[in-house]
Amino acid sequence: MIQKIDPVKKLTGTISLPPDKSISHRAAMFAALSSGKSIIRNFSQAADPQSTLACLVQLGVDLEQKDSVVEIHGVDRDGFRIPENPLDCGNSGTTMRLLGGIVAGSGVECTLVGDESLSARTMKRIIEPLTRMGCSIDGRDGAYAPLSIGIHSGIKGIRYPLPIASAQLKSAVLLAGLFGEEPTEVIEAVPSRDHTERLLGLQSEPYGSGKIIRSSRSDLIPAQNYRVPGDFSAAAFWMVAGSIVDNSGIVLPNTGMNPSRTAAYYILGEMGADINVENHSTEGSEPVADITIRPGSLKPIQLDPKLIPNCIDELPVIMVAMCFADGTSIISGAEELRHKETDRLAAMHEILASSGAEIELNEDGIIIHGSPSFVPRPSQYASYHDHRMAMAAAVLASRSSGISEILDAECTAISYPEFWLHFQKLAG
Ligand code: S3P
């Protein structure tokens, strides 16, 4: 599908954000690992969390989904059935890495497959520690899906300093650790999203300048009811759009505000964006709040590389904001972007370049010479079949002087199926 984007005069209204993707995946997996009935409210209808549900069904988990409410009957830690067919993780790295940790830890013989993009993303980062823990796991060329999982003769607790600040890697190791008698210890120097630790109530303590997190068979996984907050990563597109389009006023109720996810809010605030967060409350173990965005005069920023894992999914749209800041912004230490659904550094470089932005691409980041009067050239933007590229290009195109087109725009369904509808609604 080709989505046309007209220049936008203002973006106004209240948006009901899609449910958080990361929390939806985890709530479903943890409910499946419990023994009893859990109800998840506001579960994401997006393609990635739906891949997780489909895999759980193949593993023998009884679940029922009515709109955004999912009832899951957990099978307990050792209750998965050997699936008849490969588990299809679709486009979802979180499904493959987290569920990979679970099935490898439990020793269920199965194969995990993914689409073309997922099959090109390295799984070596999970294969290596899981193998050290005693799991039987291997991939094509030792690194790529299909992943083959087999039975094992017991999970050994390991002490694992994370070599990359990745919540997916951290979670894969901790989830496999749930099947070991001895604790598995993950040492995290640079914080990444902590939904796994929060939802499972895992123990952690300070360690050096970071923390150490433990999991073992003695961690209880209760059947419980969950309510998933609105997705902060989806909110980030409107935070930038509402900041750069004159006369805007966007309200985002019930947005997940977990501090391990919200660096984009901090960064945009430092840049001078007018973003107001109020009505703080919690949904289970997760903080939520209402966000209001109004246009602001943006200043350039040099991002602290330590913040990168905390805004990894928001970086593409932060780059869009940087194009409209008054001066030069610098992102470095963001090499991880090259390992996402597409090489997001290269893709954003192409997108920004075709809009006429003044940019320099580096191996681990990008330099953006912005201007408040920048007018993106009307362009045809490739989305690279990557939901976040399509949405970032749309936000960029909203400030253009003419009609732009986003190619393969249906890929937004991976995390935000209503994105185009919401865009139209806000643009009036
Ligand atoms: C996710 C973690 C992040 C993020 C992804 C979702 C998660 O990946 O990019 O969209 O739910 O754990 P990494 O932690 O591997 O960077």
pLDDT digits (tens, 9 = 90+) for 200-232: 999 999 999 999 999 999 999 999 999 999 999
User: What are 256's strand-pairing partners?
Assistant: 288
Which atom number of ligand 1 is nearest to the Cα of residue 171? 12
Nearest CA to ligand 1 atom 13: 166
Q: What is the mean pLDDT of residues 328-350?
A: 98
> Per the structure block, which two tokens stand in for 135?
């799991």
Query: pLDDT band for position 15 (50/70/90)?
Result: very high
Domains annotated on the chain, with CATH:
3-18+229-427 (3.65.10.10), 21-226 (3.65.10.10)
Query: pLDDT band for position 35 (50/70/90)?
Result: very high
pLDDT one-digit tens code per residue, 92-123: 999 999 999 999 999 999 999 999 999 999 99
pLDDT one-digit tens code per residue, 233-264: 999 999 999 999 999 999 999 999 999 999 99
Any idea of the CA torsion for 331, 416, 424, 117, to the nearest 10 degrees?
Answer: 70
Ligand 1 center to 339 CA (angstroms):
11
Q: What are phi and psi of 275, to 5 degrees?
A: -120, 120
Residues flanking ligand 1, CB < 6 Å: 22, 94, 166-168, 171, 192-193, 312-313, 336
329 residue type, one letter: S
Quote the DSSP letter at residue 229: P
Q: Could you confirm whether 313 is annotated as catalytic?
A: yes
CA atoms of 45 and 194, how far apart (whole Å): 22
Q: What is the pLDDT of residue 410?
A: 98
Q: What is the mean pLDDT of residues 353-359?
A: 98
Choose the catalytic residue: 219, 313, 343, 364.
Answer: 313
Ligand 1 center to 114 CA (angstroms):
16
- Count of beta carbons in the 10 Å neighbourhood of residue 208: 10
CA atoms of 367 and 300, how far apart (whole Å): 11
| % the chain with pLDDT above 70 | 100
List Cα–Cα distances, 281 to 251, 331, 358, in angstroms: 16, 32, 41
